[in-house]
């Protein structure tokens, strides 16, 4: 094992992309063997994986829960970790690892890790820049689906604006929803990855009758039905927190949180999906303006991870019950 000084970190410098590119090239030369990508399940993670696969052609593995990284059966010579943060101290595989990501950095990254990090990008955008160059490539539309999913349509990104002009907002939005429907329906995310790598343009993918796209449309119908049910549930407001609690077999809590966030400017929205099928509670928190969801929820005993305005957690039902007690107790003090 190499010591932690072999971990190279590039962030916040002036020529970020150039520096990141140079280190990636160096690492690719140093480890010319098989590559594997371990990636997130949402549109950003899937689009990053598609851009990676189109460029490097290795095997991919989606992580279905964000709680832990998988044990790889046959670790490649070089592993890429896409859109999944970088863990503290170790990976569950021995291989050197390239992390392409935009989440907060760990205090102590594992040894032999190359961190390609920018907090002002999403992962699909950064992956496109690193593997396909800064100009729009033929696959730029794939990167843009990740931007729409993670950063929205008003980000000043050149890449986003030029692709919006070329394809229009609606088709790109429809595809973003289609790609996200795989995990929201608790379905097979590899179908979304396959669909992204098989089609040459947004219009081609939208019109496609390929089984992967047909599958995604089925997922989308299921998600719409479940969302229609969960949208009926009212929010309970206490202090600065608005709680929406429901039970669904589809992990749609982030969509519900997003919907409520747009209605409630002065509250941290907590959407909690009591997954009876998994015996866990999946929590998604969203906030606007200067409201720091991580901090505000921390004060009432709910630890969520992620960004200040977009965070989440998975709890055991007993932990959730404890939080509910604090949530209601907290309100009496006000």
- The one among 39, 44, 49, 175 contacting Mn ion by CB under 5 A: 44
Q: Which stretch binds Mn ion (CB under 5 A): 9-17, 57-65, 120-128, 262-270?
A: 120-128
Distances (CA, A) of 45 to 55, 170, 173, 273, 281: 15, 21, 16, 22, 23
Integer Cα distance of 273 and 80 in angstroms:
31
Nearer to Mn ion, 40 or 222 (CB): 40
**Pairing relationship of beta strands 280-286 and 310-315 according to DSSP bridges:** antiparallel
Provide the 3-class DSSP secondary structure of residue 135: coil
Buried b (16+ CB within 10 A) or exposed e, 275-289: beeeebbbbbbbbee
Total residues contacting Mn ion by CB under 5 A comes to 5
> Token pair for residue 210?
């390929």
| Residue 322: CB minimum distance to Mn ion, A | 30
Integer Cα distance of 306 and 24 in angstroms:
26
Q: Is 76 in the site for Mn ion (CB under 5 A)?
A: no
Q: Which stretch binds Mn ion (CB under 5 A): 118-126, 221-229, 287-295, 319-327?
A: 118-126
Nearer to Mn ion, 122 or 195 (CB): 122
Site for Mn ion, residues 121 to 180, rule: CB under 5 A: 122-123, 150
Q: Is 101 in the site for Mn ion (CB under 5 A)?
A: no
Extended beta strands in 102-227, E state: 113-117
Nearer to Mn ion, 148 or 300 (CB): 148
Q: Is 83 in the site for Mn ion (CB under 5 A)?
A: yes
| Residue 123: CB minimum distance to Mn ion, A | 5
> Token pair for residue 4?
């932690």
Nearer to Mn ion, 44 or 129 (CB): 44
Binding residues for Mn ion, rule: CB under 5 A, are 44, 83, 122-123, 150
């Amino acid at each position: 094992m190499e010591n932690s000084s072999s971990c190279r970190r590039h962030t916040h410098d002036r020529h970020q992309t150039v520096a990141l590119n140079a280190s990636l090239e160096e690492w690719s030369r140093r480890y010319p063997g098989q590559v594997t990508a371990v990636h997130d399940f949402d549109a950003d993670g899937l689009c990053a994986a598609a851009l990676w696969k189109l460029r490097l052609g290795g095997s991919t593995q989606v992580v279905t829960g964000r709680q832990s990284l998988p044990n790889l059966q046959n670790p490649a010579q070089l592993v890429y970790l896409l859109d999944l943060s970088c863990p503290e101290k170790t990976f569950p595989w021995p291989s050197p690892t390239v992390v392409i990501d935009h989440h907060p950095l760990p205090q102590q990254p594992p040894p032999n890790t190359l961190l390609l990090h920018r907090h002002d990008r999403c992962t699909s955008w950064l992956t496109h820049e690193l593997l396909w160059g800064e100009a729009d490539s033929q696959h730029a539309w794939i990167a843009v689906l990740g931007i729409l999913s993670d950063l929205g349509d008003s980000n000043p990104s050149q890449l986003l604006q030029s692709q919006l002009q070329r394809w229009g907002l609606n088709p790109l939005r429809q595809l973003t929803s289609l790609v996200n429907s795989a995990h929201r329906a608790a379905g097979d995310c590899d179908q979304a990855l396959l669909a992204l790598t098989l089609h040459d343009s947004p219009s081609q993918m939208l019109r496609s009758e390929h089984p992967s796209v047909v599958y995604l449309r089925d997922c989308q119908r299921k998600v719409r039905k479940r969302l229609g049910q969960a949208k009926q549930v009212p929010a309970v407001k206490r202090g600065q927190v608005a709680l929406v609690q429901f039970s669904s077999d589809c992990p749609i809590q982030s969509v519900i949180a997003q919907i409520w966030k747009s209605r409630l400017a002065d509250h941290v929205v907590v959407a909690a999906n009591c997954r009876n099928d998994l015996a866990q509670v999946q929590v998604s928190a969203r906030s606007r303006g200067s409201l720091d969801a991580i901090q505000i929820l921390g004060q009432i005993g709910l630890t969520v991870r992620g960004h200040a305005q977009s965070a989440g957690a998975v709890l055991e039902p007993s932990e959730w019950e404890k939080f509910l007690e604090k949530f209601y107790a907290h309100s009496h003090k006000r």
